[in-house]
Amino acid sequence: MLEVAGGFARSRSGSIMPLFFLSLVPLITAIGFSVDYTDAVQTRSNMQEALDAATLAITTLPTTTTTAARQQALQDNFVANNGQGAATLVSFNVAADGTSTAQTSASFAMPTNFMTIARINTVPVAVNSGVSKAPALVQATFKVDKASGWWNKTIYLYGTQFGATTAQKLLQITYTYNGFGDPKGYGTTTVSTVSGTNLTQVQQQVCTTATVPNFNNAPAGSIQQTSGNKKYLTTCVTTPANGSGAVIDVSQMNDLYLEMDVPSASRKVLKSNDPTTSNYMFIGATDTTAVEMPLGQAIDIFTAVPCGQTSTQAWEDGGSLPLPEPITSADFFYTVTGKCDFNQRPSLTALTQ
């Protein structure tokens, strides 16, 4: 056999087969290098996606998480998202206003298949990622302004904690009509914080109505109504007079929504996160600039409550249909003040690199 091969190599008969076989070597090498390069590009793409997902995930961890625990969470999430190699937490910082930023990197020595011909056994693949997370609502303070109407009603604030599936009551505001018979109707409103089954009253407003011959001596802040020949004067007393209202900690909540229950209405339950009833709610800077929310659009309470500012929210209880209607027809007015800081909710996290 060796003699045949040697004879073939020494042949001078003009065959091009030896040259053909020799030319296959660089061709096969080039094709092999191309395959390895394509593998490296795909590996880098997969690593980038995995690192981005892992970096986003570690920004939802509490600020008390140690650097070592955050690093381990980054690596675990990186691997879980099919990342290859090692992920490294370069930095994680939370600014004074609650804005958080993170920088990460990942590297992998990808084994080659064809480049080993040129003694290149691995190819380094590296990616970087960066995220920025805006501060979000962590506390909301509710204070009743005025509640009215001939129908009794109750407003609730519900929140769902991180990792939970069932919403819990955080706030309850009840209104009971005084039954006097004036056009708008006023009564007693009680604001309470809720913890489990326990209610803690933090504010109460009692409105009393009487008929008067005129409004000449009406006290400041009183409500004056006229219907036919009758004049109605309503005075409201709030206790405590200068109380802060209901301060609700929402820092551990992944979801928030408001609900108003009106047993006497045709629609007995109105919810801010229900697109079919969210238009019963008004939101604005003041009680004169608040506007009715659009029908068919759920309201995100986290964004409806401004950071560091006081705004007005109001509800129409369903007695004055059809909607839309002016803010003056709304029945339940209260102010909300938001406090924002670092929050574990993932929705405000954005990739920056």
Distance, CA of 121 to CA of 353 (rounded, Å)? 30
Distance, CA of 134 to CA of 100 (rounded, Å)? 7
Residue 11 has a pLDDT of 55
Q: Contact at 8 Å (CB) between 255 and 164?
A: no
Distance, CA of 203 to CA of 338 (rounded, Å)? 18
Distance, CA of 239 to CA of 258 (rounded, Å)? 24
Find the DSSP H helices in the chain: 2-10, 17-58, 67-80, 301-304
The confidence band for 86, taking pLDDT boundaries of 50, 70 and 90, is very high
- Give the burial string for 231-263 (b: 16+ CB within 10 Å, else e): bbbbbbebeeeeeebbebebbebbbbbbbbbbe
Distance set, CA 193 to CA 172, 253, 306 (Å): 6, 16, 21
Residue 17, pLDDT above cutoff 80: no
Kindly state the average pLDDT of the residues 76-103: 95
What does 311-324 look like in DSSP terms, one character per residue? EEEEE--SSS-SSP
The confidence band for 242, taking pLDDT boundaries of 50, 70 and 90, is confident
Residue 3 has a pLDDT of 57
User: pLDDT (tens digit, 9 = 90+) per residue, 141-167?
Assistant: 999 999 999 999 999 999 999 889 999
Residue 7, pLDDT above cutoff 60: no
Residue 9, pLDDT above cutoff 70: no
Calculate helix-pair angle for 67-80, 17-58, nearest 10 degrees. 130
Residue 201, pLDDT above cutoff 90: yes
The confidence band for 110, taking pLDDT boundaries of 50, 70 and 90, is confident
The confidence band for 327, taking pLDDT boundaries of 50, 70 and 90, is confident
DSSP 145: E
Edge to edge, the sheet with strand 349-351 lists 86-94, 100-111, 122-133, 349-351
The more confidently predicted of residues 9 and 300 is 300
Of 58-67, 137-146, 324-333, the least confident: 324-333
Of 218-227, 242-251, 312-321, 344-353, the least confident: 344-353
Residue 1 has a pLDDT of 47
Distance, CA of 79 to CA of 104 (rounded, Å)? 14
Strands 153-161 and 136-147: unpaired
Q: Is the peptide bond before 324 cis (omega within 30 degrees of 0)?
A: yes
